[in-house]
Each structure stands twice: as C-alpha cells, then as structure tokens.
C-alpha cells in the first residue's frame, strides 16, 4: 500500500510502498479516506531538534485521519461494524498508570502516538486499538480527519468557563482558528483573536472571532482592554507559544481570569509570577491533547448538531502523493488546515 514515511534521519518525507498492517484481535482495520496535516508532521519533515530526539525512522507519519472499517479483530464486540465511518484518538495509552486510572489518560506517562512513536495514518490502511476508535455517525470523513486538531481546541476552550465571558485567542494557526469558533459556539460574549499573519487572522474571523488584532499594527493589551470595558479578557487561550504572545496573554487577562496554555515555546520563557499570576489571581491551565474521552463526546455533539463548523478554516486538499505541495503551502503561511485525500469516501 502507498504511504508517506520518514525514511531516514534527515530532512524530508518519502512516498513509497509499505506492507499492509495486520488486524490484531483487539484492533480495528481502517481504510483511510482523509488525513489532516499537522504542525508535528512539519517538524518531522524538517527534522528539527524535537524530531531528532523523538522519531526513530523508518516510520509512517501522520496522526489525524478518518476512514472506513474493513476488518474487526476477533475480540472486538458489536459496537463496530464493517463499512462504518470512524476516526480515532491517536494517543495510545497504557490504561494502568495513575493518570489512566484517575480518568486522565491524556497525560498517561506511557503514551505511544501514531505517526510519531509507531506507524501512523498517512497511508491506505491503519490498524488501531478498538478502544481508541470513534464512530463518526453523520460527520463526514473530511471533518473526521481533523477531529484530532479540533479536539485540541475544544480541550483548550471548554476547560474554561465560556458562556457569558469574553475570550482572547492568541495565535491563529488552524487550532487557534478552531478555538475561536468553539468559543463563539459555546456562548462567549466576545471573541478576540490576534496574529501577525493577516491571512490566518482573517480565517479566525470566518470562524467566528468578533475582533481581529494584528500585533504588528496595534497594541494588543490596550485594544483588548478597550474591547472589554477596561477589564481585560475573562478567558485567554494562548495557542502560539511565541514569547511575545505569551507575555501579552498574561497582561491581557482580567483580574481573576483564566489562562489556557496550548502553544509550545521553543525556548524557556520568563514569567513574572508575582505580577502576572499571583497578584492577578489567575487560574493557569496547561493543555495537552484531548481528554479521553470527554473531549471527543463534546466534539461529536457540537459537530453533529451543526453548532460548530470547522470547514471555514480548511483551505487546501491534496492527494497523498502531493505531500510536498501540502508542506509547501503550509510553509507559505497562506494556508489554514490542510487535508490529504487518500481513499474513496
């Protein structure tokens, strides 16, 4: 079968043939229809410091996908059936550590991630543990293929108190754009978005942001206070990891506000704990992945009901063979979420 792999310890990805996976007794074999290209895949392609410390080539990359069940393992019950459209949580956890047993599997210390630690989804067929598989119901595989990324936005936004509150989203990459849409859908009184990339900032507007701020043209903190009656934002979702945006996030939060941190800084960042957290009474929440499986249930509800539509943030679709074109358009900055079309829908 065709697949995109990290073939060796150097920059670049390769489209090649690999053996089809076998379906274990506890697995579901899925014919992949669509797959989302993520920033993680970009890091793996570039072979940056993170990738060099984590990836062990050769490995099939990709961790966002949706498709059709074509085989069920012998131990899989009747909750799934052949021909069913599904996606899956790409974090495969142990189920035995303290985090897993306390309902916090998303921070399992023994997590194995598809497309990173084991073969992933940029291929025609993928075997997944049945426990990780999520039925799509009426949700199409185009949207199902990006529910991993959408889930990061849901986790970031909905672990804060949104209804009746103002929300600031700093960083309008695909997940930031989704976060703006989730906040709007969940009842925020005003959604403010910031980014230096005007293309992505405009996408955040299409997703539901009420106020768009380009930090290269305006004072972010001053504008946020102006838009919130002088108080600052009730909830701040920091999605970029950029040191300047992080500083603005702390400063733009209101007294007693909630700060949700998803963006990952490349280097350590200096924080004034006294002025920015303690004396402001801020609640700071670090976000990783999707809660298993609370976040997935929230997504299914929002997506199936039509309350939330992620498609305005999807800008490009390419066939699997054109992975380099997909990476190039992401590097250009003139793209939102990029999807690979792999199999028939």
* 216 φ, ψ (degrees, to nearest 5): -80, -10
E strand intervals along the chain: 2-6, 14-17, 27-37, 59-60, 64-72, 85-88, 91-92, 112-113, 125-129, 133-135, 166-170, 190-194, 211-213, 233-238, 253-261, 283-286, 314-319, 337-341
Q: Report the 10 Å Cβ neighbour count for 322.
A: 16
Matching residue, tokens 């829908």? 345
Under a CB-based contact definition with an 8 Å cutoff, are residues 53 and 97 in contact?
no
Under a CB-based contact definition with an 8 Å cutoff, are residues 18 and 123 in contact?
yes
- Marked catalytic residue, from 43, 189, 285, 317: 43
106 has catalytic annotation: no
Could you tell me which residues come within 8 angstroms of residue 316 by beta carbon, excluding any fewer than 6 positions away? Answer: 326, 329, 335, 336, 338, 339
Under a CB-based contact definition with an 8 Å cutoff, are residues 215 and 248 in contact?
yes
At residue 3, the 3 state secondary structure works out as strand
43 has catalytic annotation: yes
Beginning with the edge strand found earlier in the chain, give each strand of the sheet holding 233-238 in spatial order: 211-213, 190-194, 166-170, 233-238, 253-261, 283-286
Comparing CA positions, the residue from 139, 142, 143 lying closest to residue 305 is 139
CA distances from 35 to 84, 92, 186, 319, 332 (A): 17, 18, 27, 10, 20
Under a CB-based contact definition with an 8 Å cutoff, are residues 155 and 285 in contact?
no
- Marked catalytic residue, from 34, 40, 141, 194: 40
**Hey, what are 272's tokens?**
């004034």
**Hey, what are 115's tokens?**
């497309």
Catalytic center residues:
40, 43
């Amino acid at each position: 079968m065709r697949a995109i792999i990290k073939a060796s310890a150097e920059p670049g990805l390769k489209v090649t043939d690999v053996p089809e996976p076998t379906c274990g007794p506890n697995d579901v074999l899925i014919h992949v229809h669509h797959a989302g290209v993520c920033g993680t895949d970009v890091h793996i392609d570039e072979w940056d410091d993170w990738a060099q410390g984590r990836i062990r080539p050769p490995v099939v990359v990709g961790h966002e996908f949706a498709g059709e069940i074509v085989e069920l393992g012998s131990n899989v019950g009747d909750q799934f059936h052949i021909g069913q459209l599904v996606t899956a949580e790409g974090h495969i956890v142990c189920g035995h550590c303290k985090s897993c047993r306390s309902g916090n599997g998303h921070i399992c210390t023994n997590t194995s991630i598809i497309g990173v630690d084991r073969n992933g989804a940029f291929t025609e067929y993928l075997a997944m543990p049945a426990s990780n598989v999520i039925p799509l119901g009426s949700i199409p595989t185009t949207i199902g293929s990006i529910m991993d990324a959408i889930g990061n936005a849901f986790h970031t936004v909905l672990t804060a108190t949104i209804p009746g509150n103002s929300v600031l989203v700093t960083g309008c990459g695909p997940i930031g754009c989704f976060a703006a849409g989730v906040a709007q859908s969940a009842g925020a009184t005003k959604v403010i978005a910031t980014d230096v990339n005007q293309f992505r900032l405009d996408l955040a507007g299409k997703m539901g942001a009420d106020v768009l701020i380009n930090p290269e043209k305006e004072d972010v903190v001053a504008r946020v206070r102006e838009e919130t009656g002088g108080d600052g934002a009730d909830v701040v979702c920091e999605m970029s990891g950029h040191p300047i945006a992080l500083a603005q996030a702390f400063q733009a939060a209101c007294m007693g506000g909630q700060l949700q941190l998803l963006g990952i800084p490349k280097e350590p960042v200096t924080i004034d704990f006294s002025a920015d957290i303690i004396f402001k009474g801020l609640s700071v929440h670090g976000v990783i992945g999707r809660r298993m499986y609370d976040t997935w249930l929230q997504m299914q509800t929002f997506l199936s009901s039509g309350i939330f539509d992620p498609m305005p943030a999807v800008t490009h679709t390419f066939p699997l063979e054109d992975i380099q074109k997909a990476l190039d358009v992401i590097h250009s900055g003139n793209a939102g979420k990029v999807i690979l079309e792999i199999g028939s829908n």
